[in-house]
């Protein structure tokens, strides 16, 4: 007997199927006749995808700068898995790990290469904070929690240290099994060309569509040669919307050149969740629908692509044996006005609306799902 059977779930290619879950895993897909403890008929009206993964959040509640609760940016918004991008370093990763064990959302961490984490904006201005032994010990203590490293490479973070923190990050990466390395880009120095030339296959450039002068496009609107070379080597582009790192103009121009994001992420924390412009991962995803990506492209960026980029082997796909993490959502036709991190507006007519998340086989309605009460889980 299955634990949960979703009947007539609409997939993003608009096919309709049944999905059965047992023991925290996807047990069967297709036309299913077996009994289940609970059956929910979605009547072909509601979309179901693999659980959404937000590759870049800040949800360490004890951070003095960028903080939130894991479930506030995760399960309550239809997101089943979040990856905290460098809020904690080696000094506070143990505390963060303990907190996440109480969350419903599945939480992972990109370890800040500064052992003090994000206690201030300039955590890489003091090279003494970049302690390779502390990083190695933290990774060894939490091998299933730390899924990568994070280096914030903009002038306000590195101070007078230029490219040196990234050089050290690459050395630490090699010492720790070539974990994925996410690199924040922003104002220079260091110059983006220096950053891109140091990156290798599997590394991630986040804030890829920021509107700052040190962006991926040249003044003439072409992709920088160094970024072209990096993408050719297998470097991945992550959105990381945030409060100051996403421009509609840059995104439209880059996507028009065929430079699509590998992952769509929010860079969410309490302030930009409550006050905007981020609000939620669904809101950020909706912006990319408005720019011109298709629904399957957008969903792939928060499921399969996200799981592959961070080596989450049993997530991101609707397939037998994968984690029973699902997101149930609607794509609603309604007028909506979006804003980017530069306060530019974009009028759109579609909004992704998460109704529920299923995490390890258990269902949780979002606020919208509870208010509308279209089904029970």
pLDDT, one tens digit per residue, over 100-159 is: 999 999 999 999 999 999 999 999 999 999 999 999 999 999 999 999 999 999 999 999
User: Which of 181, 214, 221 lies closest to 199, judged by CA?
Assistant: 181
Confidence class for position 8, pLDDT limits 50, 70, 90: very high
- Report which secondary-structure segment, H or E, holds 89: none
Predicted local distance difference test score (pLDDT) of residue 377: 92
The Cα 79–Cα 326 span in angstroms is 9
Q: Tell me the two tokens of residue 341.
A: 């991190």
- Architecture, CATH, for domain 2-49+320-332+349-372: Roll (2.30)
Q: Which residues contact 169 (CB under 8 A, 6 or more apart)?
A: 113, 130, 149, 151, 181, 183
pLDDT tens sequence across 179-216: 999 999 999 999 999 999 999 999 999 999 999 999 99
pTM of the model: 0.98
Confidence class for position 20, pLDDT limits 50, 70, 90: very high
Q: Is 262 annotated as a binding residue?
A: no
Predicted local distance difference test score (pLDDT) of residue 39: 97
What 3-state DSSP class applies to 100?
A: helix
Domain boundaries, the chain: 2-49+320-332+349-372, 51-310
Predicted local distance difference test score (pLDDT) of residue 12: 98
pLDDT tens sequence across 297-307: 999 999 999 99
pLDDT tens sequence across 63-93: 999 999 999 999 999 999 999 999 999 999 9
Q: Tell me the two tokens of residue 112.
A: 């800040």
The pLDDT of 341-360, averaged and rounded, is 98
What single string gives the DSSP state of each residue in 42-82? -TTTSEEEEPEEEEEE---TT-SSS---HHHHTGGGTEEEE
Are 92 and 62 a contacting pair, CB within 8 Å?
Answer: yes
Are 23 and 361 a contacting pair, CB within 8 Å?
Answer: yes
Q: Is 170 annotated as a binding residue?
A: no
The Cα 305–Cα 97 span in angstroms is 25
Q: Is 45 annotated as a binding residue?
A: no
The rounded percent of the chain whose pLDDT value lies above 70 is 100
Determine the topology of domain 51-310 in CATH. TIM Barrel (3.20.20)
Predicted local distance difference test score (pLDDT) of residue 34: 85
The pLDDT of 231-239, averaged and rounded, is 98
Does 340 have pLDDT greater than 90?
A: yes
Per-residue exposure over 303-342, b if at least 16 CB sit within 10 Å of its own CB, e if not: bbbbbbbbebeebbbbeeebbbbbbbbbbeeeebebebbb
Q: Is 207 annotated as a binding residue?
A: yes
Work out the angle at residue 22's Cα, subtended by the Cα atoms of residues 82 and 105, and round it to the nearest 5 degrees.
15
At 350, give phi and psi (nearest 5°). -135, 140
Predicted local distance difference test score (pLDDT) of residue 122: 97
């Amino acid at each position: 007997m299955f634990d949960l059977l979703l009947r007539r779930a609409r997939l993003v290619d608009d096919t309709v199927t049944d999905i059965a879950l047992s023991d925290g895993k996807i047990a069967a897909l297709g036309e299913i006749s077996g009994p289940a403890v609970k059956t929910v008929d979605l009547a072909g009206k509601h979309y179901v995808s693999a659980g959404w993964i937000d590759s870049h959040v800040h949800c360490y509640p004890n951070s003095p700068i960028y903080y939130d609760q894991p479930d506030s940016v995760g399960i309550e918004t239809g997101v089943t898995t979040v990856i905290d991008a460098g809020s904690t370093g080696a000094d506070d990763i143990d505390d963060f790990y303990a907190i996440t064990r109480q969350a419903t959302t599945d939480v992972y961490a990109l370890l800040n290469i500064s052992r003090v984490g994000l206690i201030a904006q300039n955590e890489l201005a003091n090279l003494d904070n970049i302690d390779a032994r502390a990083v190695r010990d933290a990774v060894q203590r939490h091998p299933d929690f730390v899924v990568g490293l994070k280096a914030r490479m903009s002038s306000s973070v590195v101070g007078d240290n230029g490219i040196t923190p990234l050089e050290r990050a690459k050395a630490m990466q090699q010492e720790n099994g070539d974990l994925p390395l996410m690199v924040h880009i922003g104002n220079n120095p260091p110059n983006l060309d220096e950053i891109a030339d140091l990156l290798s296959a599997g590394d991630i450039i986040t804030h890829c569509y920021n509107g700052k002068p040190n962006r991926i496009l040249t003044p003439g609107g072409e992709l920088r040669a160094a970024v072209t070379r990096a993408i050719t080597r297998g470097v991945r582009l992550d959105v990381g919307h945030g409060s100051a790192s996403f421009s509609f103009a840059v995104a439209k121009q880059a996507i028009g050149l065929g430079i699509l994001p590998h992952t769509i992420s929010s860079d969410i924390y309490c302030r930009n969740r409550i006050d905007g412009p981020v609000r939620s991962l669904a809101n950020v995803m909706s912006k990319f629908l408005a720019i011109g990506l298709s629904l399957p492209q957008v969903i792939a960026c928060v499921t399969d692509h996200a799981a592959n980029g961070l080596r989450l082997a049993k997530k991101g796909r609707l397939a037998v044996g994968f984690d029973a993490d699902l997101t149930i959502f609607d794509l609603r036709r309604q007028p909506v006005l979006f804003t980017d991190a530069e306060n530019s507006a974009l009028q759109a007519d579609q909004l992704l609306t998460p109704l529920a998340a299923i995490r390890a086989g258990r269902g949780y309605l979002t606020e919208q799902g509870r208010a509308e009460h279209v089904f029970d889980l």
